[in-house]
Structure 1
């Protein structure tokens, strides 16, 4: 019966409301206050990522805390297959492996609901993981951090940088802040980049990862005080 109701309404000439997009983009106003809030959020996410060993679990909390998906939703990985980036000599040196040691490559997108929050390039040493971990990484789209969580790994950040700042350099010293209150703040696709080494508690490195966090980490409405 429920399936017949929309058809009956349509036949009666009653317009149905348009389906709501799964990931409708929120509107951040292009105001100084909204720009300050966007920068504060980026700095908060950056600090959380730097102070935790698992980026996946950090994004789980970010997703839940900012209601990017229904309650209970966790980060899922979308593995991009048929891609390969051989490990450079620098990566091999960072992982402390010789030129003959096999290193595998994985490229995944980490998503929360319909929002892709990050892309990760990951080079790892399969000989330093368990057979079960390698099987999961080879045959499923599991996030790397979840697969290797039993190792109780530690993360050592090699570099962390904001790729975009909502505020211009020198804003705190009086530099003008670009703002058009009637316009939407343009948030780029790439906001933060981290490069890190994952190692066992006794210091044996097994993975180097480059993570790029996307504009979707701000895919929620700005706080009420930052709206016009």
Structure 2
């Protein structure tokens, strides 16, 4: 029995995100290959209060005592397509001033902002959120990934939780 096309696409994208060092880079290549848009990936900030990391997240980020972290909640957009919703908890003190400025003031995706750090991405969890036989709507949550970003020498600087939406499957390639 052949799997529905959307099931195979979800599996392929999930594996690429798990294997790639940057969700931003994976999504930009995915958008180009799928013909989603010629537009650059953008991180549109979502309104709301900053959310503090959980104790477990603070531990994974090696934050001790009352060491501060920052939170950035965005939807990643490629042209008119909302691909995912991402929550980034990051340690501003481990980034450059220019990186912190870009994260606070621009719509540049996190992965592009911190690219100079040569981040290593470790997947913490993957959850399936869509298992229907019918193709998903553009807004349907497909799967989520939690990951930890660290420098090549192992210093963690960000934990991210991403929820990928049906729009990420669009295109013709």
Q: TM-score range by the shorter chain?
A: over 0.9
Counterpart in the other structure of 1:165: 131
Higher strand share goes to which structure? 2
Q: Give, in angstroms, the shift of residue 209 of structure 1.
A: 0.3
Structure 1 unaligned regions, length at least 5:
1-31, 168-183, 224-228
Structure 2 unaligned regions, length at least 5:
none
Counterpart in the other structure of 1:68: 36
Q: Which 4+ runs in 1 deviate beyond 3 A?
A: 184-188
Counterpart in the other structure of 1:50: 18
- RMSD of the alignment, in Å? 1.8
Q: Give, in angstroms, the shift of residue 136 of structure 1.
A: 1.0
Residues in 1 aligned to 2:135 and 2:143: alpha-carbon distance in whole angstroms: 17
Counterpart in the other structure of 1:18: none
Equivalent residues, number: 172
Larger Rg: 1
Normalised to the residue count of structure 2, the TM-score between the two structures is 0.92
Q: Is the 8 A contact 2:136 2:166 kept in 1?
A: no
Q: Deviations over 1:36-92 (max 9, x none)?
A: 21111111101110110110111101111011113xx22111012443111111110
Select which of 90, 96, 107 maps to 2:56.
90
Q: Deviations over 1:176-224 (max 9, x none)?
A: xxxxxxxx74546100100000000000000000000001112235x8x
Q: Is the 8 A contact 1:83 1:107 kept in 2?
A: no
| 1:165 counterpart SS class | coil
Residues in 2 aligned to 1:90 and 1:38: alpha-carbon distance in whole angstroms: 34
